Chain A
């Protein structure tokens, strides 16, 4: 086990330490202090010919939202710390083309070889060298029965240190894949053996826990479906579809490079301008009239929170991260924060085309207004042949899941107890460009509960993990992030209050993920949750207080962090130590 306050430095330093050494001349061993030279590098600005600017006269290294131009005060700057793209020195023609995700059905005791590799992807007609598991994006869909234990032999064949985290799975701590906490990073060319036990039915996902802002963003993610022995666990559906949402930030024909020394886009995370479903920009599904489709939804994006709907098709939500809901519920859309999962069913009762859209209200920072932004992610085409069997009846009924309620009943006596622990979510900036500071000081007079898009990608791009420190602060001690030393006893029920400070330099929502345990949101802003579900990732909007009960049943050292990859890479993490009941060895 590795402990210590230098975890953040280790995580952000891994690229410089190993993988990109062949591409860049700057190296930094893990654990070394961050470089003091954090001032953005300025090149002479180009002339501007109107009050302000002419967009055509400026170099825009990153794409700006429609109708917006880069702030002149930022023109010519670049993030400090160098850049990274995968596959340096490799002829892209020699990189294997990516394959779509395959389904791997495993039973208790089975073994899977899982390799992180370079892949060549063509997205919207442009070729990119990226990453994949077993040559696939998403990685293989691992389907296992509940309570199975499988062995996964992970082989790192990419140019960065890596590891695999089994997100949401309450497994043995040793195999959690949390680099710096439960294991060392797996160096390029090395392997690591995981034993993964699946105690809970549902949809889970796996991804690296090293430089997620690069590795996960470039395709290293995949799902696990854990099947309940109860064939009626969910209401019936004609078909199942697994949809993984992510996005990619590109400009002209290139990926926007990644920060070599640590994440860039540290203020609000990298928000892509190409939205992908299962790694592709145009997801398509054919269905019959009246079909009920069960969608397993996962948000694998670094930062984007989605609001997904299916062309007006009626929809109900069945389950989320670690369990079903107490009650199925009709919903107009699904809000999906990074790393969250939801299981929904939609019924397509008329022939035609149903657009799968992400529809949000984006803040236009130039005009100070909200703009509707609708991205079509895919299409469901429904023909006129009737679905068989017809599940209209079960779909219209909203089931109560008594087993879930009975399970949660054991925890209701704890709902009203005072919080055992309080965390304030905030940030500090240091060395950000002056124009960014000037702008933010005024712009943050208002802070949206959720920022759905990156309205100012120029400022965001120029913020790195050296300049932005995202913080989990223990209210009781004032300690921050990895300096927090929280111990609880296995079997305890811990009430954690999360407060997202609206007064910070850049308030933003945070999807807070706790490894290896399950949590209940018992209230938001003092309002009691009425339809409970076990979660491992919880969205905390700006200015909100979220009270959470942690079922600390699984001993070990478990990371608690923001799942916006760049926030994690900027330090927003701590460890919850769940000490074995009776003081036994872990």
Chain B
């Protein structure tokens, strides 16, 4: 587990530090209207493996997730909630996988065994919540969400001139 930083110091760091370079392992998190001052980011860290990358038997990347958050309000300020919980959500929103509890500072949650997903942090009544009920306060997309559909690209439909 990474050391937890003071929320004020972390908030300052997030405000003054340049945005992390986007990479295949970085997920910027965006605040929802429920917690407009909240900030955060996540980093995908390869799970331990004796090999060059960690994957499941069916080929999904295996990551631990490190979430850095600041300015999360007290959960109780949003209703009858006492904790924040991170979820990995399939692109069609059908499958929600509980990753773990999140606080201001750095939290390591995981594992995740998906290649394309949403990362959602919700306020919940219990840090051990097994299902998401409360409002989301931060959300982001896995880097693979940048994958585009190219069927309409001019190179496919019209060829190119040279």
Residues of A within 8 A of B (CB): 42, 45, 51-53, 71-73, 75, 307, 309, 312, 317, 320, 325, 329, 331-337, 340, 342, 359-361, 363, 365-370, 372-374, 433-435, 438-439, 442-443, 445-450, 452, 502, 509, 511, 524-525, 527, 530-531, 533, 538-543
Per-residue contact bits, chain B 134-162, to A (CB 8 Å; 1 contact, 0 not): 00000000011111111101111111111
Q: A368-B149, A543-B24 are in contact. Are A72 and B157 (CB under 8 A)?
A: yes
A329 to B51, CA, bound (A): 11
Partner of B156, one of A42, A52, A511, A539: A52
Q: A524-B46, A531-B50 are in contact. Are A449 and B61 (CB under 8 A)?
A: yes
| B53 contacts A530, C-beta separation under 8 Å | no
A73 to B158, CA, bound (A): 7
B148 to chain A, nearest CB (A): 5
A531 to B150, CA, bound (A): 42
Closest to A332 in B: B57
| A369 contacts B116, C-beta separation under 8 Å | yes
A368 to B46, CA, bound (A): 23
Give the contacts of B105-159 with A (CB-CB under 8 A): 115-116, 143-151, 153-159
Closest to B154 in A: A438
A340 to B48, CA, bound (A): 18
Q: A73-B156, A445-B148 are in contact. Are A527 and B59 (CB under 8 A)?
A: no
| B50 contacts A533, C-beta separation under 8 Å | yes
Give the contacts of B56-75 with A (CB-CB under 8 A): 56-61
Which residues of chain A are within 8 angstroms of B45 by Cβ–Cβ distance? 525, 527
Which residues of chain B are within 8 angstroms of A73 by Cβ–Cβ distance? 155-156, 158-160
A376 to chain B, nearest CB (A): 14
Residues of B within 8 A of A (CB): 23-25, 45-46, 48-53, 55-61, 115-116, 143-151, 153-162
Which residues of chain A are within 8 angstroms of B115 by Cβ–Cβ distance? 361, 370, 448
A564 to chain B, nearest CB (A): 13
Q: A502-B23, A543-B24 are in contact. Are A446 and B147 (CB under 8 A)?
A: yes
The 5 closest A-B pairs by CB, nearest first: A539-B52, A446-B146, A335-B51, A368-B147, A360-B59
A207 to B49, CA, bound (A): 28
Closest to B63 in A: A449
A342 to B51, CA, bound (A): 9
Partner of B49, one of A75, A312, A335, A372: A335
Q: A438-B155, A443-B150, A449-B61 are in contact. Are A333 and B56 (CB under 8 A)?
A: yes
B28 to chain A, nearest CB (A): 14
Q: A435-B159, A449-B24, A527-B45 are in contact. Are A366 and B149 (CB under 8 A)?
A: yes
| B60 contacts A361, C-beta separation under 8 Å | yes
A245 to chain B, nearest CB (A): 14
B58 to chain A, nearest CB (A): 5
Q: A363-B147, A369-B147 are in contact. Are A530 and B24 (CB under 8 A)?
A: no
| A329 contacts B46, C-beta separation under 8 Å | no
Selected A-B contacts with CB under 8 Å, 28 pairs: A72-B156, A73-B158, A331-B49, A333-B55, A337-B52, A361-B61, A361-B115, A365-B150, A368-B147, A370-B116, A370-B144, A434-B161, A438-B155, A438-B160, A439-B153, A443-B148, A445-B147, A445-B148, A448-B144, A449-B25, A450-B52, A502-B23, A525-B25, A525-B46, A527-B46, A530-B48, A541-B46, A541-B53
Closest to B59 in A: A360
A290 to B61, CA, bound (A): 31
Which residues of chain B are within 8 angstroms of A320 by Cβ–Cβ distance? 50
Closest to A507 in B: B24
